[in-house]
Amino acid sequence: MSTEIVQIHVGQCGVQMANALWELYCLEHGILLDGEVCNLCPESFTNPLFSITPSGKAVPRVIMVDLEPTPIDEIRTGAYRQLFHPSCLITGKEDAASNFARGFFTVGREQIDVVMERVRQATENCNNLQAIFISRSYGGGTGSGFTTLLLERLLINYGKKAKVEFAIYPAPNLSPIIVEPYNAVFAAHESIETINASFIIDNEAVYDICANKFNVQQPTYTNLNRLIAQVVSASHSSLRYPNASPLSIDELQTNLVPYPRIHYPMISYSPLVGGAKTGFEGFTIGQITNECFEPASQMLKVDARLGAYLSCCFIYQGDVNAGDINNCVNALKTNRNLHFIEWSPSGFKIAINPVPPMAVVGGDLGPVPRSLCLLSNSSAIKTVWIRLLNKFDSMYKKRAFVHHYVGEGMEEGEFKNARDDIEALIQDYKELEDSTNGKKPEEDADEN
Protein backbone atom coordinates (compact mmCIF):
# COMPACT_ATOMS: atom_id res chain seq x y z
CA MET A 1 0.00 0.00 0.00
CA SER A 2 1.31 3.45 -0.87
CA THR A 3 2.02 5.81 2.00
CA GLU A 4 2.22 9.58 2.11
CA ILE A 5 4.32 12.17 3.90
CA VAL A 6 3.13 15.74 4.52
CA GLN A 7 5.90 18.29 4.98
CA ILE A 8 5.55 21.55 6.91
CA HIS A 9 8.22 24.25 6.62
CA VAL A 10 8.08 26.93 9.30
CA GLY A 11 9.77 30.32 9.56
CA GLN A 12 12.40 31.93 7.37
CA CYS A 13 14.88 29.10 7.87
CA GLY A 14 12.31 26.38 7.22
CA VAL A 15 11.06 28.09 4.05
CA GLN A 16 14.60 28.59 2.71
CA MET A 17 15.28 24.91 3.36
CA ALA A 18 12.07 24.14 1.44
CA ASN A 19 13.30 26.04 -1.58
CA ALA A 20 16.36 23.80 -1.90
CA LEU A 21 14.59 20.63 -0.83
CA TRP A 22 11.76 20.76 -3.37
CA GLU A 23 14.23 21.72 -6.09
CA LEU A 24 16.01 18.45 -5.35
CA TYR A 25 12.81 16.39 -5.01
CA CYS A 26 11.68 17.55 -8.45
CA LEU A 27 15.03 16.62 -10.02
CA GLU A 28 14.97 13.21 -8.34
CA HIS A 29 11.49 12.34 -9.54
CA GLY A 30 11.45 13.95 -12.97
CA ILE A 31 9.05 16.79 -12.23
CA LEU A 32 9.25 20.09 -14.10
CA LEU A 33 8.91 23.57 -12.63
CA ASP A 34 5.17 23.60 -13.31
CA GLY A 35 4.51 20.13 -11.86
CA GLU A 36 4.49 18.19 -15.14
CA VAL A 37 5.75 14.61 -14.69
CA CYS A 38 8.48 13.72 -17.20
CA ASN A 39 9.31 10.36 -18.76
CA LEU A 40 6.43 8.62 -17.05
CA CYS A 41 2.71 8.22 -17.49
CA PRO A 42 1.16 10.38 -14.74
CA GLU A 43 -1.36 7.63 -13.94
CA SER A 44 1.52 5.34 -12.92
CA PHE A 45 3.30 7.97 -10.83
CA THR A 46 3.16 7.24 -7.11
CA ASN A 47 5.26 9.09 -4.59
CA PRO A 48 4.83 9.86 -0.87
CA LEU A 49 5.68 13.52 -1.45
CA PHE A 50 3.34 14.40 -4.32
CA SER A 51 -0.32 13.99 -5.21
CA ILE A 52 -1.49 13.81 -8.82
CA THR A 53 -4.38 15.94 -10.06
CA PRO A 54 -6.86 14.66 -12.71
CA SER A 55 -4.94 16.73 -15.28
CA GLY A 56 -1.72 14.86 -14.44
CA LYS A 57 0.00 17.64 -12.48
CA ALA A 58 2.20 16.65 -9.53
CA VAL A 59 1.39 18.76 -6.47
CA PRO A 60 3.70 18.71 -3.41
CA ARG A 61 2.16 17.58 -0.12
CA VAL A 62 3.55 20.63 1.63
CA ILE A 63 2.63 23.62 3.78
CA MET A 64 4.89 26.63 4.19
CA VAL A 65 4.27 29.02 7.06
CA ASP A 66 5.89 32.25 8.16
CA LEU A 67 4.55 34.98 10.39
CA GLU A 68 5.92 37.61 8.01
CA PRO A 69 5.54 37.53 4.22
CA THR A 70 9.00 38.13 2.76
CA PRO A 71 10.49 34.57 2.63
CA ILE A 72 7.31 33.02 1.21
CA ASP A 73 6.85 35.91 -1.24
CA GLU A 74 10.15 34.75 -2.74
CA ILE A 75 8.57 31.33 -3.28
CA ARG A 76 5.47 32.92 -4.82
CA THR A 77 7.57 34.79 -7.36
CA GLY A 78 10.40 32.26 -7.78
CA ALA A 79 11.16 29.55 -10.33
CA TYR A 80 8.78 27.04 -8.68
CA ARG A 81 5.82 29.41 -8.27
CA GLN A 82 3.63 27.21 -10.50
CA LEU A 83 4.50 24.05 -8.56
CA PHE A 84 2.97 24.82 -5.18
CA HIS A 85 -0.75 25.10 -4.43
CA PRO A 86 -1.35 28.79 -3.53
CA SER A 87 -3.25 27.91 -0.36
CA CYS A 88 -0.26 25.98 1.03
CA LEU A 89 1.76 29.22 1.24
CA ILE A 90 0.61 30.88 4.47
CA THR A 91 1.90 34.20 5.76
CA GLY A 92 1.05 36.64 8.50
CA LYS A 93 1.60 40.38 8.65
CA GLU A 94 3.87 40.63 11.68
CA ASP A 95 6.94 38.54 12.46
CA ALA A 96 7.90 36.99 15.78
CA ALA A 97 10.87 39.35 16.23
CA SER A 98 13.19 36.45 17.15
CA ASN A 99 11.09 35.91 20.28
CA PHE A 100 9.76 32.45 21.22
CA ALA A 101 6.97 34.01 23.27
CA ARG A 102 5.64 36.04 20.31
CA GLY A 103 5.57 32.95 18.13
CA PHE A 104 3.91 30.82 20.80
CA PHE A 105 1.67 33.15 22.83
CA THR A 106 0.71 36.20 20.76
CA VAL A 107 1.37 36.61 17.02
CA GLY A 108 1.43 32.86 16.38
CA ARG A 109 -2.06 32.36 17.84
CA GLU A 110 -3.48 34.50 15.07
CA GLN A 111 -2.32 32.06 12.39
CA ILE A 112 -2.57 28.63 14.00
CA ASP A 113 -6.18 27.91 12.99
CA VAL A 114 -5.49 28.79 9.36
CA VAL A 115 -2.47 26.47 9.33
CA MET A 116 -4.31 23.59 11.00
CA GLU A 117 -7.13 23.87 8.46
CA ARG A 118 -4.60 23.55 5.65
CA VAL A 119 -2.98 20.58 7.43
CA ARG A 120 -6.41 18.95 7.64
CA GLN A 121 -6.95 19.38 3.92
CA ALA A 122 -3.50 17.98 3.11
CA THR A 123 -3.92 14.92 5.35
CA GLU A 124 -7.42 14.17 4.08
CA ASN A 125 -5.92 13.97 0.61
CA CYS A 126 -3.78 11.04 1.81
CA ASN A 127 -4.83 7.39 1.68
CA ASN A 128 -2.30 6.23 4.25
CA LEU A 129 -0.51 9.10 5.97
CA GLN A 130 2.78 7.77 7.32
CA ALA A 131 4.37 10.85 8.88
CA ILE A 132 4.47 14.61 9.14
CA PHE A 133 7.90 16.15 8.51
CA ILE A 134 8.70 19.58 9.94
CA SER A 135 11.59 21.89 8.95
CA ARG A 136 12.46 24.80 11.21
CA SER A 137 15.13 26.64 13.17
CA TYR A 138 15.41 26.35 16.94
CA GLY A 139 16.88 29.83 17.20
CA GLY A 140 14.24 31.98 15.47
CA GLY A 141 11.03 33.24 17.00
CA THR A 142 8.70 31.62 14.46
CA GLY A 143 10.73 28.42 14.15
CA SER A 144 10.86 27.95 17.92
CA GLY A 145 7.62 29.47 19.19
CA PHE A 146 5.09 28.93 16.41
CA THR A 147 6.36 25.43 15.61
CA THR A 148 5.96 24.49 19.27
CA LEU A 149 2.35 25.69 19.16
CA LEU A 150 1.83 23.79 15.91
CA LEU A 151 3.27 20.58 17.37
CA GLU A 152 0.86 20.78 20.31
CA ARG A 153 -2.08 20.94 17.89
CA LEU A 154 -0.64 18.15 15.72
CA LEU A 155 -0.33 15.92 18.77
CA ILE A 156 -4.02 16.46 19.57
CA ASN A 157 -5.27 15.88 16.02
CA TYR A 158 -2.70 13.35 14.73
CA GLY A 159 -1.43 11.74 17.90
CA LYS A 160 -0.61 8.34 16.39
CA LYS A 161 1.15 9.70 13.30
CA ALA A 162 4.92 10.14 13.46
CA LYS A 163 6.14 13.70 13.74
CA VAL A 164 9.73 14.01 12.50
CA GLU A 165 11.65 17.27 12.37
CA PHE A 166 14.81 18.49 10.64
CA ALA A 167 15.89 21.49 12.67
CA ILE A 168 18.70 23.99 12.45
CA TYR A 169 20.26 24.14 15.90
CA PRO A 170 22.34 27.03 17.32
CA ALA A 171 25.94 26.58 16.19
CA PRO A 172 28.78 26.70 18.75
CA ASN A 173 30.40 29.91 17.43
CA LEU A 174 27.98 31.30 14.82
CA SER A 175 24.96 33.18 16.12
CA PRO A 176 22.93 35.64 14.03
CA ILE A 177 20.41 36.03 16.88
CA ILE A 178 21.61 36.96 20.36
CA VAL A 179 18.65 35.30 22.11
CA GLU A 180 19.08 31.98 20.26
CA PRO A 181 19.90 30.11 23.52
CA TYR A 182 16.59 31.18 25.08
CA ASN A 183 14.55 30.26 22.00
CA ALA A 184 16.30 26.91 21.54
CA VAL A 185 15.91 25.86 25.17
CA PHE A 186 12.21 26.78 25.15
CA ALA A 187 11.66 25.02 21.82
CA ALA A 188 13.37 21.82 22.98
CA HIS A 189 11.62 21.84 26.36
CA GLU A 190 8.13 22.50 25.02
CA SER A 191 8.34 20.05 22.10
CA ILE A 192 10.26 17.21 23.76
CA GLU A 193 6.96 15.39 24.38
CA THR A 194 5.34 16.25 21.03
CA ILE A 195 8.00 15.18 18.50
CA ASN A 196 8.96 11.57 17.76
CA ALA A 197 12.38 12.14 16.20
CA SER A 198 14.39 15.32 15.84
CA PHE A 199 17.38 15.48 13.49
CA ILE A 200 19.34 18.58 14.40
CA ILE A 201 21.85 20.28 12.12
CA ASP A 202 24.06 23.25 12.90
CA ASN A 203 25.21 25.86 10.41
CA GLU A 204 28.80 25.79 11.62
CA ALA A 205 29.20 22.13 10.65
CA VAL A 206 27.65 22.85 7.25
CA TYR A 207 29.87 25.93 6.80
CA ASP A 208 32.95 23.79 7.53
CA ILE A 209 31.89 21.18 4.99
CA CYS A 210 31.43 23.85 2.33
CA ALA A 211 34.84 25.35 3.11
CA ASN A 212 36.86 22.16 3.60
CA LYS A 213 35.16 19.75 1.21
CA PHE A 214 33.91 22.06 -1.56
CA ASN A 215 36.42 24.91 -1.23
CA VAL A 216 33.60 27.45 -0.90
CA GLN A 217 35.08 29.85 1.64
CA GLN A 218 32.10 32.21 1.91
CA PRO A 219 29.04 30.02 1.41
CA THR A 220 25.66 31.61 0.88
CA TYR A 221 22.40 30.27 2.30
CA THR A 222 21.87 28.63 -1.09
CA ASN A 223 25.12 26.66 -0.64
CA LEU A 224 24.17 25.64 2.88
CA ASN A 225 20.57 24.73 2.10
CA ARG A 226 21.43 22.65 -0.96
CA LEU A 227 23.78 20.55 1.15
CA ILE A 228 21.17 20.21 3.89
CA ALA A 229 18.56 19.29 1.26
CA GLN A 230 20.81 16.51 -0.06
CA VAL A 231 21.10 15.02 3.40
CA VAL A 232 17.41 15.38 4.30
CA SER A 233 16.37 13.81 0.99
CA ALA A 234 18.80 10.92 1.46
CA SER A 235 17.42 10.21 4.95
CA HIS A 236 14.13 8.94 3.50
CA SER A 237 15.14 8.16 -0.09
CA SER A 238 14.44 4.44 0.32
CA LEU A 239 10.73 5.22 0.85
CA ARG A 240 10.31 6.93 -2.50
CA TYR A 241 11.51 4.43 -5.10
CA PRO A 242 9.70 1.22 -6.06
CA ASN A 243 12.80 -1.01 -6.23
CA ALA A 244 14.31 0.07 -2.93
CA SER A 245 14.49 -1.99 0.25
CA PRO A 246 12.59 0.53 2.37
CA LEU A 247 13.10 1.66 5.92
CA SER A 248 9.72 2.91 7.09
CA ILE A 249 9.34 5.81 9.49
CA ASP A 250 8.05 3.40 12.15
CA GLU A 251 11.11 1.17 11.69
CA LEU A 252 13.33 4.23 11.87
CA GLN A 253 11.81 5.25 15.20
CA THR A 254 11.95 1.71 16.59
CA ASN A 255 15.64 1.39 15.80
CA LEU A 256 16.81 4.92 16.63
CA VAL A 257 14.68 5.95 19.62
CA PRO A 258 15.05 3.58 22.60
CA TYR A 259 13.22 5.94 24.98
CA PRO A 260 10.77 8.72 24.06
CA ARG A 261 13.01 11.54 25.31
CA ILE A 262 16.18 10.17 23.66
CA HIS A 263 15.01 11.14 20.19
CA TYR A 264 17.82 13.32 18.78
CA PRO A 265 19.74 11.25 16.21
CA MET A 266 22.67 12.74 14.32
CA ILE A 267 23.08 12.77 10.53
CA SER A 268 26.25 12.08 8.55
CA TYR A 269 26.68 11.92 4.80
CA SER A 270 29.33 10.60 2.43
CA PRO A 271 30.86 11.21 -0.03
CA LEU A 272 31.10 14.98 0.38
CA VAL A 273 33.04 15.76 -2.79
CA GLY A 274 32.87 18.74 -5.12
CA GLY A 275 32.20 18.28 -8.80
CA ALA A 276 35.82 18.91 -9.83
CA LYS A 277 37.07 15.97 -7.71
CA THR A 278 34.53 13.28 -8.49
CA GLY A 279 36.60 11.81 -11.34
CA PHE A 280 39.59 11.23 -9.03
CA GLU A 281 37.87 9.41 -6.17
CA GLY A 282 36.98 5.74 -5.73
CA PHE A 283 33.87 5.94 -3.53
CA THR A 284 33.98 2.31 -2.44
CA ILE A 285 31.37 1.11 0.04
CA GLY A 286 34.08 0.74 2.67
CA GLN A 287 35.30 4.31 2.12
CA ILE A 288 31.93 6.01 2.32
CA THR A 289 30.89 3.89 5.32
CA ASN A 290 34.02 4.71 7.32
CA GLU A 291 33.83 8.39 6.35
CA CYS A 292 30.35 8.68 7.83
CA PHE A 293 31.82 7.97 11.27
CA GLU A 294 34.27 10.87 10.94
CA PRO A 295 33.38 14.23 12.53
CA ALA A 296 34.03 16.02 9.21
CA SER A 297 31.06 14.18 7.64
CA GLN A 298 28.56 15.08 10.38
CA MET A 299 25.94 17.79 10.12
CA LEU A 300 26.52 18.68 13.78
CA LYS A 301 29.65 19.87 15.58
CA VAL A 302 29.99 16.82 17.81
CA ASP A 303 32.70 14.16 18.01
CA ALA A 304 30.62 11.01 18.24
CA ARG A 305 33.77 9.00 18.99
CA LEU A 306 33.71 10.46 22.49
CA GLY A 307 30.31 8.99 23.25
CA ALA A 308 28.54 5.67 22.98
CA TYR A 309 26.30 4.67 20.08
CA LEU A 310 22.82 3.41 20.81
CA SER A 311 22.01 2.50 17.21
CA CYS A 312 22.80 3.25 13.58
CA CYS A 313 20.69 3.26 10.42
CA PHE A 314 22.54 3.07 7.09
CA ILE A 315 20.68 4.37 4.04
CA TYR A 316 22.68 3.56 0.91
CA GLN A 317 21.92 5.00 -2.51
CA GLY A 318 23.18 3.88 -5.91
CA ASP A 319 25.36 1.00 -7.03
CA VAL A 320 25.93 -1.01 -3.84
CA ASN A 321 26.38 -4.69 -3.08
CA ALA A 322 24.72 -6.28 -0.05
CA GLY A 323 27.74 -8.53 0.55
CA ASP A 324 30.11 -5.55 0.68
CA ILE A 325 27.77 -3.77 3.09
CA ASN A 326 27.69 -6.80 5.41
CA ASN A 327 31.49 -6.92 5.39
CA CYS A 328 31.62 -3.24 6.36
CA VAL A 329 29.12 -3.71 9.17
CA ASN A 330 31.05 -6.71 10.55
CA ALA A 331 34.23 -4.63 10.51
CA LEU A 332 32.48 -1.82 12.39
CA LYS A 333 31.40 -4.24 15.12
CA THR A 334 35.06 -5.02 15.87
CA ASN A 335 36.30 -1.42 15.62
CA ARG A 336 37.50 -0.48 19.10
CA ASN A 337 37.19 3.22 18.29
CA LEU A 338 33.41 2.86 18.08
CA HIS A 339 31.66 2.36 21.41
CA PHE A 340 28.18 0.91 21.72
CA ILE A 341 25.79 0.81 24.65
CA GLU A 342 26.26 -2.60 26.34
CA TRP A 343 22.67 -3.70 25.70
CA SER A 344 22.91 -2.69 22.03
CA PRO A 345 26.30 -3.97 20.82
CA SER A 346 25.28 -4.31 17.17
CA GLY A 347 22.38 -1.95 16.62
CA PHE A 348 22.59 -1.66 12.83
CA LYS A 349 19.70 -1.23 10.39
CA ILE A 350 20.25 -1.08 6.62
CA ALA A 351 18.16 0.27 3.73
CA ILE A 352 19.19 0.31 0.07
CA ASN A 353 17.93 2.54 -2.71
CA PRO A 354 19.40 1.47 -6.08
CA VAL A 355 18.95 4.93 -7.63
CA PRO A 356 22.18 7.01 -7.41
CA PRO A 357 22.01 10.35 -5.59
CA MET A 358 21.01 13.29 -7.78
CA ALA A 359 23.38 16.24 -8.08
CA VAL A 360 21.81 19.67 -8.56
CA VAL A 361 23.18 21.43 -11.64
CA GLY A 362 25.39 24.26 -10.43
CA GLY A 363 25.49 22.85 -6.90
CA ASP A 364 28.57 22.09 -4.83
CA LEU A 365 28.14 18.32 -4.62
CA GLY A 366 29.35 16.41 -7.65
CA PRO A 367 27.65 13.38 -9.24
CA VAL A 368 28.71 10.11 -7.60
CA PRO A 369 27.75 6.46 -8.21
CA ARG A 370 26.81 5.77 -4.60
CA SER A 371 26.33 7.49 -1.26
CA LEU A 372 25.49 6.78 2.36
CA CYS A 373 23.34 8.70 4.81
CA LEU A 374 24.04 7.56 8.38
CA LEU A 375 21.44 8.22 11.05
CA SER A 376 22.88 7.47 14.49
CA ASN A 377 21.79 7.96 18.06
CA SER A 378 24.81 8.67 20.24
CA SER A 379 25.26 9.84 23.81
CA ALA A 380 27.89 12.29 22.47
CA ILE A 381 25.07 14.63 21.46
CA LYS A 382 24.81 15.67 25.09
CA THR A 383 27.68 18.09 24.40
CA VAL A 384 25.44 20.27 22.22
CA TRP A 385 22.92 20.56 25.05
CA ILE A 386 25.69 21.36 27.54
CA ARG A 387 26.98 24.14 25.26
CA LEU A 388 23.47 25.50 24.88
CA LEU A 389 22.79 25.56 28.62
CA ASN A 390 26.08 27.34 29.27
CA LYS A 391 25.03 30.13 26.90
CA PHE A 392 21.52 30.16 28.40
CA ASP A 393 22.92 30.46 31.93
CA SER A 394 25.34 33.26 31.06
CA MET A 395 22.43 35.43 29.90
CA TYR A 396 19.80 34.37 32.37
CA LYS A 397 21.92 34.95 35.47
CA LYS A 398 21.88 38.65 34.46
CA ARG A 399 18.21 38.42 33.41
CA ALA A 400 19.23 39.78 30.01
CA PHE A 401 16.32 40.19 27.57
CA VAL A 402 13.92 38.38 29.92
CA HIS A 403 11.48 41.30 29.86
CA HIS A 404 10.88 40.79 26.13
CA TYR A 405 9.51 37.31 26.82
CA VAL A 406 7.52 38.25 29.92
CA GLY A 407 6.00 41.13 27.97
CA GLU A 408 4.56 38.66 25.46
CA GLY A 409 2.75 36.58 28.06
CA MET A 410 5.43 34.19 29.34
CA GLU A 411 5.92 33.70 33.07
CA GLU A 412 9.49 34.07 34.28
CA GLY A 413 9.25 30.71 36.02
CA GLU A 414 9.23 29.10 32.56
CA PHE A 415 12.92 29.95 32.19
CA LYS A 416 13.84 27.70 35.11
CA ASN A 417 11.41 24.95 34.09
CA ALA A 418 12.81 24.83 30.57
CA ARG A 419 16.39 24.90 31.78
CA ASP A 420 15.79 22.09 34.28
CA ASP A 421 14.21 19.93 31.57
CA ILE A 422 17.26 20.25 29.31
CA GLU A 423 19.51 19.51 32.28
CA ALA A 424 17.45 16.35 32.84
CA LEU A 425 17.89 15.46 29.16
CA ILE A 426 21.67 15.73 29.56
CA GLN A 427 21.49 13.43 32.56
CA ASP A 428 19.44 10.93 30.54
CA TYR A 429 22.26 10.71 28.00
CA LYS A 430 24.92 10.50 30.72
CA GLU A 431 23.13 7.56 32.32
CA LEU A 432 23.08 5.77 28.98
CA GLU A 433 26.77 6.47 28.47
CA ASP A 434 27.58 5.15 31.95
CA SER A 435 26.00 1.83 31.03
CA THR A 436 28.75 0.99 28.51
CA ASN A 437 30.94 -2.00 29.21
CA GLY A 438 34.49 -1.61 30.46
CA LYS A 439 36.31 1.69 30.18
CA LYS A 440 34.64 4.89 29.14
CA PRO A 441 35.67 6.42 25.82
CA GLU A 442 37.23 9.34 27.71
CA GLU A 443 39.51 6.94 29.61
CA ASP A 444 40.68 5.38 26.36
CA ALA A 445 41.45 8.84 25.01
CA ASP A 446 43.50 9.71 28.11
CA GLU A 447 45.62 6.60 27.73
CA ASN A 448 46.52 7.28 24.07
Structure confidence at residue 363 (pLDDT): 86
Residues 271 and 231 in one domain: no
Q: Is the pLDDT of residue 93 over 50?
A: yes
Q: Is the pLDDT of residue 442 over 70?
A: no
Residues 342 and 388 in one domain: no
Structure confidence at residue 445 (pLDDT): 38
Q: Which residue has the higher pLDDT, 439 or 153?
A: 153
Residues 232 and 340 in one domain: no
Q: Is the pLDDT of residue 87 over 80?
A: yes
Residues 165 and 199 in one domain: yes
Q: Is the pLDDT of residue 275 over 60?
A: yes
Q: Is the pLDDT of residue 342 over 80?
A: no
Structure confidence at residue 421 (pLDDT): 97
Q: What is the CATH number of the domain that holds 416?
A: 1.10.287.600
SS3 for the chain is CCCEEEEEEEHHHHHHHHHHHHHHHHHHCCECCCCEECCCCHHHCCECCEEECCCCEEEECEEEEECCCHHHHHHHHCCCCCCCCHHHEEECCCCCCCCHHHHHCCHHHHCHHHHHHHHHHHHHCCCCEEEEEEEEECCCHHHHHHHHHHHHHHHHHCCCCEEEEEEEECCCCCCCCCCHHHHHHHHHHHHCCCCCEEEEEEHHHHHHHHHHHCCCCCCCHHHHHHHHHHHHHHHCHHHCCCCCECCCHHHHHHHHCCCCCCCCCEEEEECCCEHHHHHHCCCCHHHHHHHCCCHHHECCCCCHHHCCEEEEEEEEEECCCHHHHHHHHHHHHCCCCCCECCCCCCCEEEEEECCCCCCCCCCCECCCCEEEEEEEEEHHHHHHHHHHHHHHHHHHCCCCCHHHHHCCCCCCHHHHHHHHHHHHHHHHHHHHHHCCCCCCHHHHHHHC
pLDDT band, residue 389 (cuts 50/70/90): very high
Q: Is the pLDDT of residue 40 over 90?
A: no
pLDDT (mean) for 141-166? 96
pLDDT (mean) for 373-394? 95
pLDDT (mean) for 2-15? 94
Q: Which of 241, 258, 275 corresponds to the end of one domain?
A: 258
Residues 377 and 387 in one domain: no
Residues 393 and 374 in one domain: no
Residue 328's domain comprises: 267-381
Structure confidence at residue 436 (pLDDT): 61
Q: Is the pLDDT of residue 381 over 60?
A: yes
Structure confidence at residue 64 (pLDDT): 98
pLDDT band, residue 247 (cuts 50/70/90): confident
pLDDT band, residue 217 (cuts 50/70/90): confident
Residues 374 and 396 in one domain: no
Structure confidence at residue 39 (pLDDT): 65
Residues 248 and 298 in one domain: no
Of 94, 110, 193, 251, which residue is the catalytic one?
Answer: 251
pLDDT, tens digit, for every residue of 170-180? Answer: 988 877 789 99
Count the domains in the chain: 3
Q: Which of 223, 258, 293 corresponds to the end of one domain?
A: 258
pLDDT band, residue 45 (cuts 50/70/90): low
Range scoring the smallest mean pLDDT among 194-203, 245-254, 343-352, 419-428: 343-352
pLDDT (mean) for 93-98? 93
Range scoring the smallest mean pLDDT among 184-193, 254-263, 334-343: 334-343
pLDDT (mean) for 338-351? 78
pLDDT, tens digit, for every residue of 408-418? Answer: 999 999 999 99
Q: What is the CATH number of the domain that holds 247?
A: 3.40.50.1440
Residues 316 and 205 in one domain: no
Active site residue 442: no
Residues 57 and 139 in one domain: yes
Residues 316 and 363 in one domain: yes
**Mean pLDDT for the chain overall:** 90
Percent of the chain's residues with pLDDT above 70:
93
Q: Which of 345, 365, 381 corresponds to the end of one domain?
A: 381
Residues 141 and 254 in one domain: yes
Q: Is the pLDDT of residue 71 over 50?
A: yes
Q: What is the CATH number of the domain that holds 338?
A: 3.30.1330.20
Q: Is the pLDDT of residue 139 over 50?
A: yes
Percent of the chain's residues with pLDDT above 90:
72
